[in-house]
């Protein structure tokens, strides 16, 4: 994951980390830091997290609209749902129109999940070897459909075995 912009609420010395040094931090002056550190500092009320451009209401509405217009999955920033979940939980005070954004994230998830479900059904309906190409899929979406894909694979094996038995 990439770095996130925060606005420190107090001055901090340089923080020495395995991934490199961060800081020094000056109160009110934006700085880029790793997401995990931004979350930690936010939980301690030492900073405000500046949400990425795609986390603003108008951009989120645009992403939902594009998802509704395209037949495949639209391209989203990497780890979109994971980062969105973290920001909604940890930095809700830093997010303008947070409730509306949460609804739009859920709408986006639902639309994409429906597309993935439809794709799985199409895959099941094919009797010969089927190959699937999933462009623009998010890591968490892969994790959520993995059990279904494993089930599809088992069903395909059963159908193939049944077909082989009927031929003999």
Which residue ranges in the chain fall short of pLDDT 50? Answer: none
Question: What is the pLDDT, as a whole number, of residue 131?
Answer: 60
Question: What is the pLDDT, as a whole number, of residue 132?
Answer: 60
Question: What is the pLDDT, as a whole number, of residue 162?
Answer: 60
Q: Cα-Cα-Cα-Cα dihedral of 57, 59, 63, 65, to 10°?
A: 70
Domains of the chain: 1-50 (3.40.5.50), 51-167 (1.20.58.1020)
Report pTM: 0.72
Question: What is the pLDDT, as a whole number, of residue 152?
Answer: 61
Q: What are the beta bridge partners of residue 48?
A: 7
The secondary structure of residue 54, as a DSSP letter, is G
Question: For the chain, give me the number of helices (H) and strands (E)?
Answer: 5, 5
Closest alpha carbon to 55 in 35, 25, 40: 35
CB 76 within 8 A of CB 109: no
Distance separating alpha carbons of residues 135 and 79, to the nearest angstrom:
14
Question: What is the pLDDT, as a whole number, of residue 153?
Answer: 62
Question: What is the pLDDT, as a whole number, of residue 164?
Answer: 61
């Amino acid at each position: 994951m990439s770095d996130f912009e925060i606005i420190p609420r107090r001055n901090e010395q340089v923080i020495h980390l395995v991934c490199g040094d961060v800081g020094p931090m000056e109160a009110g002056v934006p700085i880029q830091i790793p997401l995990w550190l931004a979350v930690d500092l936010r939980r301690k009320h030492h900073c405000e997290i500046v949400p990425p451009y795609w986390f603003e209401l108008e951009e989120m509405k645009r992403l939902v609209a594009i998802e509704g217009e395209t037949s495949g999955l639209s391209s989203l920033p990497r780890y979109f749902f994971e980062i969105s979940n973290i920001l909604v939980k940890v930095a809700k005070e830093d997010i303008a129109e947070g409730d509306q954004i949460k609804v739009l994230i859920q709408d986006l998830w639902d639309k994409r999940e429906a597309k993935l479900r439809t794709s799985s059904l199409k895959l099941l309906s094919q009797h010969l070897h089927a190959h699937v190409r999933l462009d623009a899929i998010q890591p968490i979406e892969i994790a959520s459909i993995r059990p279904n894909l494993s089930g599809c694979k088992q069903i395909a094996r059963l159908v193939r075995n049944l077909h082989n038995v009927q031929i003999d």
